[in-house]
Amino acid sequence: MSKPKDTGRKSDGTFAPGNTLGGRPPGSRNKTTLAIEALLEGEHEALTRAAIGKALEGDTTALRLCLDRLAPPRKDSPVSFDLPPIKTAEDAVTASSAVLAAVAAGEVTPDEAGRVMSLLTAHKALVETCDLEARITALEAKK
């Protein structure tokens, strides 16, 4: 009878640390990426000049490509509106009301407000944790 083949996997099906039986070694690169880089070897400057030339001739796709490399579109923008200081969980509720008022007034978009509310929720959790820690410390000091 033959011995079962070692798959190099843990009981949950994932690869075990240091496993060389599956996947690429750490730091190795994808074969397709390596092949493309080999094809473009030494041609980067010529390709860039060609794209710039096309853009200057009025090719809108080439122009967009060049501009996206020079000034990529922002993925996020700063949001500016007044929020009260947040030192207690109750302050976080007041701040969330201010965010909702800013949305209603058209000062911020609902998407921006959602991201700010996520920050407020995380900050509120930290404030509550800090408050609980202080209360526990005070109770332990009484003993």
pLDDT 10s digits, 86-104: 888 899 999 999 999 999 9
The amino acid occupying position 77 is S
Q: Residues of the chain with pLDDT > 70: what percent?
A: 86
Which ranges of 41-109 would DSSP assign to H, the alpha helix? 44-56, 60-70, 89-104
25 pLDDT higher than 80: no
Which CA distances in Å does 142 have to 128, 132, 136, 138? 21, 15, 10, 6
Residue ranges of the domains in the chain?
A: 31-70, 89-142
How crowded is residue 16: how many other Cβ atoms within 10 Å of its Cβ?
13
Distance, CA of 45 to CA of 57 (rounded, Å): 18
Average of per-residue pLDDT across 45-53: 89
pLDDT of residue 19: 59
The whole model's pTM is what? 0.48
Nearest to 91 by CA among 123, 129, 114: 123
- For residue 48, give the nearest of 33, 31, 70, 73 by alpha carbon: 70
